Amino acid sequence: MMKRRNKRVLITGSGSGMGRATALLLAEKGYDVIAATRTPEALYDLHPNIVPVAMDLRDRASVEAAVKEAGQVDILINNAGYGFVSSVEEAKEAEMVAQFDINLMGLLRVTAAVIPAMRRAGGGVIVNISSFLGKIGLPMLTFYNASKYAVEGVTDSLRYELRPFGIRVHSVMPGFFDTCFARKNLRINERSFAPDSPYRCFSENLAPRIVDEINHGNDPKEVARIIAKIIDDPDAPARVAAGEKARKFIPMRRELSDEDFERRVREYYNLG
């Protein structure tokens, strides 16, 4: 009798934070985990069911090579990303492009690479790690917000596009979590943080508060558990909020008018 193979999961951004926590949890549950990262050496010997692979989301050839190495992917977790902090006025063109190249285009490159095999197999699961900031705007995070709003749009459209092939598509919208995000995955525009920047009030007051909220946020294992539940449940909702901030602000966003919600956010973050 032929032995049934384990389900295979490809996770991007597996080197730390939510990606690493998810890789470990799914490996412990018996999945074969292909952990894609720019630093695969950080994942060697992490778990017998975890196979690290090198992947640069900015490079289609790198993405396609990693997906080929992964083999038949049953589940894709699009987790990799970073945050860029800047005013719109002061951002450089290259900084703008880079934010979307990773958070949006990278996600699309990997997704496009795994869809053909999922389609031929007659099913699969794709989980996009978005953010509650994919529904809520904040100053100085315009480019990150926009990239995550775009991820939400991708999720909505792909749910229609891939449903005929038995492929489920979901998003998880985390709030602020205690990961390496603020320490390693936040990049700033130096001009916006200069003493003579017209946006100094935001860089001096809002940005440190956001960093503090991230550093004292929820445990990334919560996101890992949500992802595992989505994978196991064929009737899982299209999107799930994760963490205190997301569970507070996303329902509020649905219930209030644009103007009332904006007023609440200004009051909460003392934006004037």
List the one residue out of 171, 173, 176 whose CA is nearest residue 251.
173
Q: How far apart are CA 120 and CA 165, in angstroms?
A: 8
Domain count, the chain: 1
In-domain check, residue 2: no
The 10s digit of each residue's pLDDT in 172-188 is 999 987 765 555 668 99
Report pLDDT for 3.
Answer: 53
In-domain check, residue 95: yes
Mean pLDDT of successive 10-residue stretches along the chain, which has 272 residues: 74 92 96 94 88 96 96 97 95 97 98 98 97 93 96 98 98 83 74 94 86 80 96 97 91 94 91 80
Determine whether 144 is an active site residue.
yes
In-domain check, residue 105: yes
> The CATH number of the domain where 99 resides is what?
3.40.50.720
Report pLDDT for 2.
Answer: 43
In-domain check, residue 252: yes
Report pLDDT for 184.
Answer: 63
Both structure tokens of 16: 């730390």
In-domain check, residue 212: yes
256 Cβ contact list (under 8 Å, min separation 6): 264
Residue 82 has a CB neighbour count (10 Å cut-off) of 16
In-domain check, residue 1: no
In-domain check, residue 87: yes
Report pLDDT for 1.
Answer: 43
Share of residues in the chain with pLDDT > 90 (%): 78
What range defines the domain where residue 246 resides? 8-268
The 10s digit of each residue's pLDDT in 130-142 is 999 999 999 999 9
Q: How far apart are CA 86 and CA 89, in angstroms?
A: 8
Report pLDDT for 183.
Answer: 57
Choice among 144, 149, 199, 269 that is catalytic:
144
In-domain check, residue 3: no
